[in-house]
């Protein structure tokens, strides 16, 4: 099957590459010529385990190709996936200019019947706007060619995107057209041979499913962070509470890990966008507002704990950071808790010494050269000469630590663990002033 993908960002590139990998003929189009040139040379603009090898193999096999030529892209596929970005605009709603620009491009260049597939995360009702944009561009040319628009939201987690694409829980397609159903079934046939997880539904239901899924997961996290904050004040250990409630299959163990708040490209943006959409239909989504507010506060707890440990005076201190990415196995720092922390530390006059296995370049890109930021080679260098350590991301390589060594490196020696990697008793027995999230006495001031 011939498939065109517009957008070679995270979603577009993973979708195009995975579809090529199962034998489809895929063309990926992007307006960014530099990006396309790099992709053609086998250079991947993002960090995603396994993706680079997959791109190279499929390019070599001739099933995956890249272009900046819109006419060639529209001409190529019977399915035209729109997988461009929908960044939040100032008021938190999704900015659809890129999605609608692709729709116009399709309308401007199509010469035969096409199916437009909305892959980007777009507000409910966008399929209608995409339809109008394609129709408008066709009308301008005086052309009358049939086309259809369906919704096919993605559920990819960064760091596990290929696995999620190939073994996801479901494939959602919003359409009422039998022709579209047949084509989408053909597109996903390799993934549903053993287990038919293709779900057809109304276009609007498909669009809302994406937001509902992310909002539900974000709600679980914020709920658990709220319980952790309570546990700190009540002298309970949230890790025990987590196991206690997770054992109920109605609740489940997944996505109930308390921490320093959720970040990334989806949860913060999608919760805000859904709340905005609610506002547009005169409904105040109180729960969504609370999920967002709890998360905003949670991202500030790392600084609050540090500040308490230093009696509110962090000026001139050097703070080591392990982890900058919003979660492990990615270099993405969008809305990462590490950023809230670093920015608060700088404002308080402290210096940051940070290490992340993948996100160093991204951090450099975001903050440039600054005197109060040292990006170092490894986690050992990060704690060299530091007063305290904060763990922001639960990279595997941070999970095992010689506490006695750590104590000998840190001057105070305060450890704020935003991901609950260690047993507080063990860390404290080694002489560390260890503060986790929701673990009994995580609030007490440092004993010096």
Cα–Cα distance list, 272 to 4, 268, 382 (Å): 30, 6, 35
Please list every residue from 80 through 139 that binds ligand UDX, using CB under 6 A: none
Each residue 227-256 as x (binds ligand UDX by CB under 6 A) or -, in order, gives ----------------------------xx
- Minimal distance, residue 229 CB to ligand UDX, in Å: 14
**Residues in Cβ contact with 444 at an 8 Å cutoff, skipping those fewer than 6 apart:** none
Nearer to ligand UDX among residue 262 and residue 395 (C-beta):
262
Position 10 contacts ligand UDX (CB under 6 A) = no
Q: How far apart are the first and last CA of the chain?
A: 68
Nearer to ligand UDX among residue 46 and residue 135 (C-beta):
46
Torsion angle of alpha carbons 238, 239, 243, 248, nearest 10°? 30
Contact range with ligand UDX by CB under 6 A, out of 78-86, 149-157, 397-405, 438-446: 149-157
Nearer to ligand UDX among residue 256 and residue 291 (C-beta):
256
Contact range with ligand UDX by CB under 6 A, out of 103-111, 154-162, 285-293, 367-375: 154-162
Each residue 400-419 as x (binds ligand UDX by CB under 6 A) or -, in order, gives --------------------
Position 398 contacts ligand UDX (CB under 6 A) = no
Position 19 contacts ligand UDX (CB under 6 A) = no
Report the chain's C-alpha Rg in angstroms.
24
Contact range with ligand UDX by CB under 6 A, out of 1-9, 245-253, 258-266, 313-321: 258-266
- Minimal distance, residue 264 CB to ligand UDX, in Å: 3
**Residues in Cβ contact with 289 at an 8 Å cutoff, skipping those fewer than 6 apart:** 275
Position 13 contacts ligand UDX (CB under 6 A) = no
Position 158 contacts ligand UDX (CB under 6 A) = yes
Residues near ligand UDX (CB under 6 A), total: 19
Identified binder of ligand UDX from the candidate list 66, 262, 310, 403, rule CB under 6 A: 262
**Distance between CA atoms of residues 246 and 84, nearest Å:** 37
Q: Are 228 and 437 in contact (CB under 8 A)?
A: yes
Position 157 contacts ligand UDX (CB under 6 A) = yes
Contact range with ligand UDX by CB under 6 A, out of 91-99, 139-147, 230-238, 263-271: 263-271
Nearer to ligand UDX among residue 150 and residue 256 (C-beta):
256
Position 156 contacts ligand UDX (CB under 6 A) = yes
Nearer to ligand UDX among residue 254 and residue 400 (C-beta):
254
Nearer to ligand UDX among residue 262 and residue 367 (C-beta):
262
Position 323 contacts ligand UDX (CB under 6 A) = no
Query: Omega before 115 cis (within 30°)?
Result: no
Cα–Cα distance list, 276 to 93, 152, 158, 264, 266 (Å): 6, 22, 25, 19, 15
Nearer to ligand UDX among residue 148 and residue 394 (C-beta):
394
Identified binder of ligand UDX from the candidate list 76, 81, 211, 267, rule CB under 6 A: 267
Nearer to ligand UDX among residue 323 and residue 424 (C-beta):
323
- Minimal distance, residue 171 CB to ligand UDX, in Å: 13
Q: Alpha carbon 42 to chain centroid distance?
A: 24
Residue 266 annotated to the active site: yes
Identified binder of ligand UDX from the candidate list 151, 175, 214, 442, rule CB under 6 A: 214
Position 155 contacts ligand UDX (CB under 6 A) = yes
Q: Which residues contact ligand UDX by CB under 6 A?
A: 154-158, 214, 217, 221, 255-257, 259, 262-264, 266-267, 326-327
Q: Which residues are catalytic?
A: 266
């Amino acid at each position: 099957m011939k498939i065109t993908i517009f957008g070679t960002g995270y979603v577009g590139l993973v979708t195009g590459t995975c579809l090529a990998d199962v034998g489809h003929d895929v063309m990926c189009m992007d307006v960014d010529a530099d990006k396309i040139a790099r992709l053609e040379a086998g250079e991947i603009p993002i960090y995603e385990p396994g993706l680079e090898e997959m791109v190279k193999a499929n390019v070599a096999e001739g099933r995956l190709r890249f272009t900046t030529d819109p006419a060639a892209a529209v001409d190529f596929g019977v399915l035209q996936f729109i997988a461009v970005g929908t960044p939040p605009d100032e008021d938190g709603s999704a900015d659809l200019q890129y999605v609608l620009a692709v729709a116009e491009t399709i309308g401007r260049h199509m010469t035969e019947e096409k199916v437009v597939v909305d892959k980007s995360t777009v507000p409910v009702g966008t399929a209608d706007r995409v339809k109008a944009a394609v129709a408008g561009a066709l009308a301008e040319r005086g052309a009358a060619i049939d086309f259809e628009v369906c919704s096919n939201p993605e559920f990819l987690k960064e760091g596990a995107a290929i696995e999620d694409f190939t073994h996801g829980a479901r494939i959602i397609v919003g359409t009422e057209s039998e022709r579209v159903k047949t084509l989408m079934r053909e597109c996903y046939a390799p993934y549903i041979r053993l287990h038919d997880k293709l779900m057809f539904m109304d276009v609007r239901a498909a669009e809302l499913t994406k937001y509902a899924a992310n909002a539900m997961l974000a709600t679980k996290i914020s709920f658990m962070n709220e319980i952790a904050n309570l546990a700190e004040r009540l002298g309970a250990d949230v890790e025990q509470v987590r196991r206690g409630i997770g054992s109920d299959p109605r609740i489940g163990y997944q996505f109930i890990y308390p921490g320093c708040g959720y970040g990334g490209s989806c949860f913060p943006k999608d919760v805000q966008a859904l709340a905005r959409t609610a506002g547009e239909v005169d409904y105040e989504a109180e729960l969504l507002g609370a999920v967002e507010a709890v998360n905003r506060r949670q991202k500030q707890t790392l600084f609050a704990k540090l500040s308490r440990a230093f009696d509110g005076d962090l000026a001139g201190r050097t703070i080591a950071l392990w982890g900058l990415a919003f979660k492990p196995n990615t270099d993405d720092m969008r809305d990462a808790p590490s950023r809230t922390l670093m920015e608060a530390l700088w404002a308080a006059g402290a210096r940051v010494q940070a290490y992340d296995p993948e996100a160093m370049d991204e951090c450099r890109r975001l903050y440039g050269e600054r005197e109060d930021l040292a990006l170092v080679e490894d986690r050992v260098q990060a704690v060299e000469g530091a007063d305290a350590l904060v763990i922001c991301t639960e990279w595997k390589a941070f999970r095992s630590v010689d506490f006695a060594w750590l104590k000998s490196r840190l001057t105070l020696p305060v450890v704020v663990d935003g991901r609950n990697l260690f047993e507080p008793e063990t860390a404290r027995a080694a002489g560390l002033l260890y503060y986790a999230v929701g673990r009994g006495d995580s609030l007490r001031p440092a004993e010096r």
